[in-house]
A and B are shown apart, each in its own frame.
Chain A
């Protein structure tokens, strides 16, 4: 119970502390990390015994109060956030060392606020509360994009902001319609509502808004410029974490709150967008010559995978046995993607600093002088390709199994084809890194900067090797039919 409150309060407190005493920002962040890991550990242990944890601050009771609920997925996403944060904080403690100017002053509170917003969105079940979280997340993210203060970064931040605000607006519109029709906003209660005629439109509005924020094709166009100018640790957060929150809400809406009004064709439509994203993003990644842009377009593609779960676990599929596999699969995929993508951005940042550019021609041969970073990059690439023994493979395996079990094998083909495409575009930077001797003089990263991506990438791999432990956790709070699985 208290753990949930701590998870919301700790990053917020850290953020305030880092504004009040900028010199202590790193210490504060590290402290938040420790507290968060302990809290997540306690929460997970408690859940395994007692089932989903629900807390209502102020004891006002739903629907009047705001319900916070942690189920298996939520804990998985919380852990993902904490891990990525820990890695990013470690790496950023060098680049944004306190007292090194405006950028570092801005970074720490923004990062910790982002964490708080993430946690809030993961735990909250109240649609309006989610809106607040969404807005906070957006604003913080825009701040991170604009951090460098350069002109193109500001332009990218503006574009992002417009997209995000339109998305928020649409979402809010949907929320208002729901509240108008049913007088309640808690997802758990909504699932038992009597359907109203406007529900469909409300859901559509909310979905469109969330899709814009998740950078689902064709609303992904804000993502690449936003990353291009952002510093590497910020990119790691933007790519690894931010889209996952809005995705989670969208998925909950379609599978938990209102699965009854969803027709299969709608699910297929969403998944089709995801499938197009997989290939579109992959092909565009093939065209890029900058390492960072390759990684960004890879994010576009990888986010597409997530939406393939809609026809498997959304709508009526939510109660089917195979949805268990789909849920677990998508959770694994999201978590390992976040870890690997963060690792990759951090590694890319190190390369960029070492040679002053992230063009493939510039990073040629860096494997020799930066073996550990390259190793981390390789492990992360392996995860993104969805190859065993990474967590992404486990995820992919579960999703394909679910697709086959539900008779929709074509989504499995999309998953595999996307994996091959990702191998194709990730091979280019890998090959460049191994090509030749590399420059003699580089700016060497600090040891802990090198360890951060390695730690994240290794976590993504270990997730695949020891995937049995998280599994039990993910199942908590699942409909019975979907627990037994296949």
Chain B
């Protein structure tokens, strides 16, 4: 077995951020470790623009590492890397610049996992990467160490762990049926395995937790509200996508279709509406993420899985941009500048809602094509709910605390979300032809434009109405609020019962019997009688 084959770059893509994470701990670097954050994803971005090559094989590592890409994953890799770079850059100012080496180190680990999920071709590497992205992100969630952050962290880690375990069970069934560790083989095996249902259920649970599948989405809104802004950006833009990627690569075509469709659409509508009960703009965005992820999960179930990456790229970039804009708004003092931020957010939001001429319109259009009419209409209808929740989001963002002074480097800070948002608006246009096989002009017509305008307009009206008459506001976590207390009580471990050590009575009692016997035997009369008895007995028992 050769220890290595294939190009070095994919391995470097994963090793580099890890190396940076280790470097962050060094005493000299420790206090400025945040400065390293934007460097981590650079090789990944580079790889995203390279032609696809041979897979990289390192059989000695883990259970035999295999790294490689296909066009869809390469696209997601590009988006992920871009988002991480932008978020890393956005972490250079204000409170974010003062974070410590632990934050920086686990940022690197999370990043590695997030990239590894896309690059791995074998189950071992995938699972390792998934665990990294899933569990290391906990450190990003609890970074603020406030009570709410710690509560969010607790919810996050418990669910993430349950997800890991569910995933492990599902993957093990898949691996043992396929007799191979290659993801491809496992997916094909799951299509025919006799007990595939069990495996797929576990996989859907495991990935669904990460991807925010209803009703496993409860960790998202507390975590997003608690995490620092750049962390929220990657959480929503890149980390939850790991779950989506998992479903894309492991789920056989059409498996669990109806469940995904049902739960996905329930999430898509329900979360968008529930988000209206939230005050914190980041919590509102989190519900929007649940809603969008629900839509994507429904698309996987509904038979549009090939185009989900195309949609995901748009969502990742725009959601990242929106989170970062929240951060910018929090650092903006003058009204004019605040309006500018609001407008920028409005544009990105419009794109997310699928407004005419935005990238979002194309994304929605693309995924609707393979769907049945009813499903396509359902997708169109999500534009309404998305518009409603994003309008509410813009309002909540506007209402946020206004600082005394605008933060330093404000234009640069605004430029970063604009870059991401601009990407969200533009990338679908650029990739349309590659993904749909037709020039984009062929799609554009007046009717398609009005089709995409109407739901947005309707949503906007509803949104404005809600701003006028808001819904009652509640805390984060919806279903969680119901089950949190009983579950916590259930998990209380009864304290150990202290038992008094027991004396060994048996031997003591037996020894007493022996003692009594001994006092008899000591008597001469008994001794002589016994001697006589023995003599007679032996004499009797001989021939």
A–B direct touch, CB within 8 Å, in complex? yes
Which A residues are within 8 Å of any B CB, using their own CB? Answer: 163, 166, 170, 195, 199-201, 203-205, 207-208, 211-212, 218-219, 221, 260-263, 265-266, 269-270, 273, 279-280, 283-284, 286-287, 424
- Residues of A with C-beta under 8 A to B512: 287
Q: Is the CB of A203 within 8 A of B514?
A: no
Which residue on A lies nearest to B522, using beta carbons? Answer: A221
- A285 nearest in chain B by CB position: B511
Contact B530 A201 (CB under 8 A): no
In the complex, A166 Cα to B530 Cα: how many Å?
A: 13
Of all chain B residues, the one with the shortest Cβ separation from A225 is: B522
Question: What are the residues of chain A within 8 A of B513 when measuring CB–CB?
Answer: 283
A205-B535, A284-B514 as given contacts; A218 in contact with B527, CB under 8 Å: yes
A287 and B511 contact, CB distance less than 8 A: yes
**In angstroms, how far is the closest chain B Cβ from the Cβ of A283?**
4
Interface of B is mostly: helix
Smallest beta-carbon distance B34→chain A, Å: 57
Known contacts A218-B527, A287-B515; is A263 also within 8 Å of B534 by CB?
no
B539 within 8 A of A: yes
Q: Pick from B518, B531, B538, B540: contact of A166, CB below 8 A.
A: B531
Report yes or no: B535 in contact with A219, Cβ–Cβ below 8 A.
Answer: no
Q: Could you say which residues of chain A place their CB within 8 Å of the CB of B522? A: 221
CA–CA, A344 and B517, complex, Å: 27
Determine whether the beta carbon of B531 is less than 8 Å from that of A170.
yes
Q: Are B521 and A284 in contact (CB under 8 A)?
A: no
Interface size on B, as a range, is 20 to 34
Partner pick for A218 among B530, B537, B539, CB 8 A cutoff? B530
Closest CB of chain B to A346's CB: distance in Å? 26
Contact B542 A263 (CB under 8 A): yes
B512, B522, B543 pick with most chain A CB within 10 angstroms: B543
**Residue B404 at the chain A interface, CB threshold 8 Å:** no
Task: Write the chain A residue with the least CB distance to B513.
Answer: A283
Using A218-B521, A266-B542, A269-B541 as known contacts, say yes or no to A212 and B531 having CB atoms under 8 A apart: yes
Task: Identify 9 residue pairs between A and B in the complex whose beta-carbon atoms are under 8 Å apart, listed by A's number.
Answer: A163-B527, A203-B542, A204-B536, A208-B535, A218-B530, A260-B543, A263-B541, A269-B538, A284-B511
**Chain B contacts for A201, CB-based, 8 A:** 535, 539
Q: What residues on B are CB-neighbors of A163 within 8 Å? A: 527
Measured between alpha carbons, how far is A280 from B513 in the docked complex, in Å?
9
Within the complex, what minimum Cβ distance (angstroms) separates A194 from chain B?
Answer: 13
CA distance A12 to B542 in the complex (A): 39
A283 to B518, CA, bound (A): 11
Q: Is the CB of A286 within 8 A of B511?
A: yes
Q: Is B468 an interface residue (CB 8 A)?
A: no
For the complex, what is the distance from the CA of A280 to the CA of B510, rounded to whole Å? Answer: 9
Instruction: Find out whether the CB atom of A207 lies under 8 angstroms from the CB atom of B543.
Output: no
A-B pairs under 8 A by CB, number: 88
Name the distance in Å between A273's Cβ and chain B's nearest Cβ.
8
Partner of B530, one of A205, A219, A283: A219
Which residues of chain B are within 8 angstroms of A261 by Cβ–Cβ distance?
542-543
Q: How many Å lie between the Cα of A273 and that of B535 in the bound state?
A: 13
Instruction: Tell which of B511, B515, B541 touches A265, judged by Cβ atoms closer than 8 Å.
Output: B541
Determine if B507 is an interface residue (Cβ-Cβ < 8 Å).
yes
CB-defined contacts of A280 to chain B, threshold 8 Å: 514, 517-518
**CB-based nearest A residue for B511:** A283
**Cα(A201)–Cα(B518), bound, Å:** 28
CB-contact partner of B534 in A166, A211, A284, under 8 A: A211
By a CB distance below 8 angstroms, the chain A residues around B543 are 195, 200, 260-263
Most B C-beta atoms less than 10 A away, residue of A200, A201, A207, A218: A218
B538 partner, pick from A195, A260, A266, beta carbons under 8 A: A266
Residues of B whose CB lies within 8 Å of any CB of A are: 507-508, 510-515, 517-518, 521-522, 527-528, 530-531, 534-543
- Chain B residues closer than 8 Å to A262, beta-carbon distance: 541-543
**Residue from A200, A212, A221, A424 within 8 A of B507 (CB atoms):** A424
A199 neighbours in B (Cβ, 8 Å): 542
Assembly CA distance A284 to B516 (angstroms):
10
Docked pose: A170 CA to B543 CA in angstroms:
20
A203 CA / B521 CA spacing, docked (Å)? 24
Give the distance in Å from the alpha carbon of A211 to the alpha carbon of B507 in the complex. Answer: 27
Say how far B396's CB is from chain A's closest CB, in angstroms: 71
Chain B residues in 8 Å Cβ range of A284: 511, 514-515, 518
Q: How far is the CA of A207 from the CA of B540 in the complex (A)?
A: 13
Report which residue of A205, A207, A265, A283 has the largest number of chain B beta carbons within 10 angstroms of its beta carbon. A283
What separation, in Å, do the CA atoms of A203 and B540 have in the docked complex? 11
Q: From known contacts A261-B543, A283-B514, A287-B514, infer whether A208 and B531 are also in contact, taking CB-CB under 8 Å.
A: yes
B534 nearest in chain A by CB position? A208
Distance between Cα atoms of A262 and B522 in the complex (Å): 30
Q: How far is the CA of A481 from the CA of B534 in the complex (A)?
A: 32
Q: State which of B510, B514, B518 has its C-beta within 8 Å of the C-beta of A221.
A: B518
A170's contact among B515, B521, B535, by CB below 8 Å, is which? B535
Residue of B nearest to A220 (CB): B521
Rank and list the top 7 A-B pairs by shortest CB-CB distance, nearest first: A200-B542, A266-B541, A204-B538, A204-B539, A283-B514, A283-B511, A208-B535
User: Complex formed: what's the CA distance from A279 to B522 in Å?
Assistant: 18
The answer on a CB contact under 8 Å between B515 and A208 is no
**Could you tell me the distance in whole angstroms from the C-beta of B524 to the nearest C-beta in chain A?**
8
Q: What residues of chain B lie closer than 8 Å to A207, measured between beta carbons?
A: 534-535, 538
Distance between A112 CB and nearest chain B CB, rounded to angstroms: 32
Q: How far is the CA of A221 from the CA of B527 in the complex (A)?
A: 9
Beta-carbon contact of B539 and A200 below 8 Å: yes
A160 to B540, CA, bound (A): 28
With A201-B535, A201-B539 given, can you name 12 additional A-B contacts, CB distance below 8 Å?
Answer: A163-B527, A170-B535, A200-B541, A200-B542, A200-B543, A219-B527, A221-B521, A261-B542, A263-B542, A265-B541, A283-B515, A286-B508
* CB-defined contacts of B542 to chain A, threshold 8 Å: 199-200, 203-204, 261-263, 266
Alpha-carbon distance between A205 and B536 when the two chains are bound, in angstroms:
8
Q: Do residues B541 and A219 form an inter-chain contact, with CB atoms below 8 A?
A: no
Residues in B with CB closer than 8 Å to A211 are: 534
Residues of A within 8 A of B538 (CB): 200, 203-204, 207-208, 266, 269-270
- The interface residues of chain B lying within 8 Å CB-to-CB of A208 are 531, 534-535, 538
B507 partner residues in chain A, CB cutoff 8 A: 283, 286, 424
CB contacts (< 8 Å) of A269 on chain B: these are 537-538, 541
Cβ of B517: which chain A residues have Cβ within 8 Å of it?
A: 280
- Per the bound structure, the CA–CA distance linking A262 and B514 in Å amounts to 31
Residues of B within 8 A of A200 (CB): 538-543
The interface residues of chain A lying within 8 Å CB-to-CB of B530 are 218-219
Closest CB in chain A relative to B459 CB, distance in Å: 82
List the B side residues contacting A204 at CB < 8 Å: 534-539, 542
List chain B residues, Cβ under 8 A from A260. Answer: 543
Q: How far is the CA of A270 from the CA of B521 in the complex (A)?
A: 18
* A195 CB contacts on chain B under 8 angstroms: 543
Instruction: Give the residue among A212, A219, A221, A262 with the most B Cβ atoms within 10 A.
Output: A221
Nearest Cβ on chain A to B499's Cβ, whole angstroms: 22
Which of chain B's residues has its CB closest to A212's CB? B531
Taking the nearest CB of chain B, how far is it from the CB of A176, in angstroms?
15
Q: Bound complex: CA of A269 vs CA of B513, how far in Å?
A: 22
Within the complex, the shortest CB–CB distance from B340 to chain A, in Å, comes to 81
Shortest distance in angstroms between A38's beta carbon and chain B's nearest beta carbon? 41
With both beta carbons as reference points, the residue of chain B lying nearest to A163 in the complex is identified as B527
Contacts of A219 in B (CB 8 A): 527, 530-531
- CA A163 – CA B512 in complex, angstroms? 25
Among residues of B, the one whose C-beta sits closest to the C-beta of A217 is: B521
Q: Kindly state the separation between the CA atoms of A211 and B527 in the bound complex, as whole angstroms.
A: 12
| Chain B residues within an 8 Å CB radius of A218 | 521, 527, 530
Complex: A436 Cα to B518 Cα, angstroms: 34
Residue of A nearest to B519 (CB): A221
Residue of A nearest to B541 (CB): A266
B526 nearest in chain A by CB position: A218
Task: Give Cα A71–Cα B512 distance, bound, in whole angstroms.
Answer: 44
Q: How far is the CB of A143 from chain B (nearest CB, A)?
A: 23
Interface centre among B512, B517, B522, B527 (most CB of A within 10 A): B527
Nearest B-chain residue to A262, judged by Cβ: B542
Nearest-CB residue, chain B, relative to A260: B543
